[in-house]
Amino acid sequence: MTRFEKTVCGLALAGGLVIPFLLDSYTIRVAAMALYYVILASSWNLLLGYAGQLSFAHAAFAGIGAYTSGLLSHHHGVHPGFGIFIGGAVAAGIGWCLGRMCLRTCGPYLALMTLGFSETVRLILQIEHDYTRGSLGLQIPYLFGEGLPHHVLGYFVMLALAVLTIVVLHRLVNSEKGLYFKAIREDEDVAAVMGVELVKWKVNAFVISSLFAGLAGAIYAHLFVQVLAPQNLLLIEMGLILAMTIVGGLGTLTGPIIGAILLVVMWEVMRDVSPYAHMLLFATLVIVVMKFFRAGIFGLIAARLKAKGLISRAPPLTVE
């Protein structure tokens, strides 16, 4: 990493640590939501941006993690501190099963299969009213005991998980395994000829992505949501994750962070206009980005920074 990159990373982390002491309770909650989407967008980016696999099931895995932990706490008295890890493990396990079934296909077939899986999960959660409470919502306990949620503490938990996610993904994509993912993305036939086990590494990417989605969904649910409903698994949620990743910069670690923070801020600004005005704007942004600058917002910034020598040609946070 160059000195400039280290400085930017240090300032970003310092800013993240200071933010909750400068904002009111509502804005802290919005900041925590931005971190939640940073985790989802970054982990989904591993699938599409690095392994080249288009999945529409990512929001469903976040819901699986949240509902697993919530149901264990609600019906069986399991402490949320244990439930969130079980939720992440269940999401990863289902991701492995789904990956083994779906990842022998590619292109539109994979996308359709994961879309069908996502809708199936949502409908099951909505129909099984006696156990999940359906559209009425499942009330789950706060992560840190009884009483009103402590938003500052919740924010720091989400920040820690976001940092952990980025660090793990950074080490992964800059390792030999990361080369396998990128080889699969560029040309599966050539990768197979060179000895890359396609299904194995596709499934591995799917499992890692699902694990972080499940953990994020479970932790965020116990800290800030506390009433789960199947509406959180609608396709519009997956659309948000897709838009954040593409607008920020697909195939980089920095892009999804920029996209998630930017789109959450825009979402809040447009909240008073219409409940779905932000989705119209986000869809327009995706179209513009894919048409005119496919590298996303970060791609535009990185081109200038590379020209000035401020970032390396293959920097840890801007892998191409």
Domain range list for the chain: 3-307
- The pLDDT > 90 percentage for the chain reads 38
Across 292-307, average pLDDT: 82
Instruction: Give yes or no for residue 308 having a pLDDT over 50.
Output: yes
Give the sign of the dihedral formed by CA 161, CA 77, CA 148, CA 278: positive
pLDDT band at 314 (very low <50, low <70, confident <90, very high): very low
- Residue-level pLDDT at 241: 93
Residues 6+ apart with CB under 8 A from 173: 46, 50, 181, 182, 253, 319
Give tens-digit pLDDT for 133-150.
888 888 888 888 776 678
Q: Is residue 316 over pLDDT 50?
A: no
- Across residues 241-252, what is the average pLDDT? 90
- Partner residues linked to 228 by β-bridges: 138
Task: Give the pLDDT score at 2.
Answer: 67
Any idea which residue has 């395994």 for tokens? 177
Model confidence at 215, pLDDT cuts 50, 70, 90, reads very high
* Three-class SS of the chain: CCHHHHHHHHHHHHHHHHHHHCCCHHHHHHHHHHHHHHHHHHHHHHHHHHCCCCCCCHHHHHHHHHHHHHHHHHHHCCCHHHHHHHHHHHHHHHHHHHHHHHCCCCCHHHHHHHHHHHHHHHHHHHHCHHHHCHHHCEECCCCCCCCCCCHHHHHHHHHHHHHHHHHHHHHHHCCHHHHHHHHHHHCHHHHHHCCCCHHHHHHHHHHHHHHHHHHHHHHHHHHHHCEECHHHHCHHHHHHHHHHHHHHCCCCCHHHHHHHHHHHHHHHHCCCCCCCHHHHHHHHHHHHHHHHCCCHHHHHHHHHHHHCCCCCCCCCCCCC
Q: Which amino acid is at 97?
A: C
* pLDDT for res 251: 86
- At residue 106, the pLDDT reads 67
| pLDDT reading at 317 higher than 50 | no
Q: Which pLDDT belongs to residue 319?
A: 40
Task: State the chain's mean pLDDT as an integer.
Answer: 86
223: how many CB neighbours lie within 10 A of its CB?
Answer: 24
Across the range 161-175, mean pLDDT stands at 92
- Tokens 């306990």 correspond to 141
pLDDT grade for 315, boundaries at 50, 70 and 90:
very low
State in words which class domain 3-307 has. mainly alpha
By the 8 A CB rule, do 143 and 224 touch? no
Instruction: Report the relative pairing of strands 227-228 and 138-139 from DSSP bridges.
Output: antiparallel
Q: Six-digit token pair at 269?
A: 């600004």
User: Within 10 Å of residue 81's Cβ, how many Cβ atoms?
Assistant: 12
d(CA 79, CA 83): 6
Report the length, in residues, of the chain: 320
> What pLDDT sits at residue 1?
64
User: Is the confidence at residue 36, as pLDDT, over 90?
Assistant: yes
Angle in degrees, 0-180, between the axes of helices 3-18 and 151-173, rounded to the nearest 10:
160
Q: What is the pLDDT of residue 23?
A: 85
Among 21-30, 228-237, 295-304, the range of highest mean pLDDT: 21-30
Confidence of residue 107 (pLDDT cuts 50, 70, 90): low
pLDDT band at 151 (very low <50, low <70, confident <90, very high): confident
pLDDT in tens, 179-196: 888 888 888 888 888 888
Tens-digit pLDDT profile for residues 218-227: 999 999 888 8
Angle, alpha carbons 26-30-36 (nearest 5°): 140
* Range with lowest mean pLDDT among 184-188, 265-269, 288-292, 306-310: 306-310
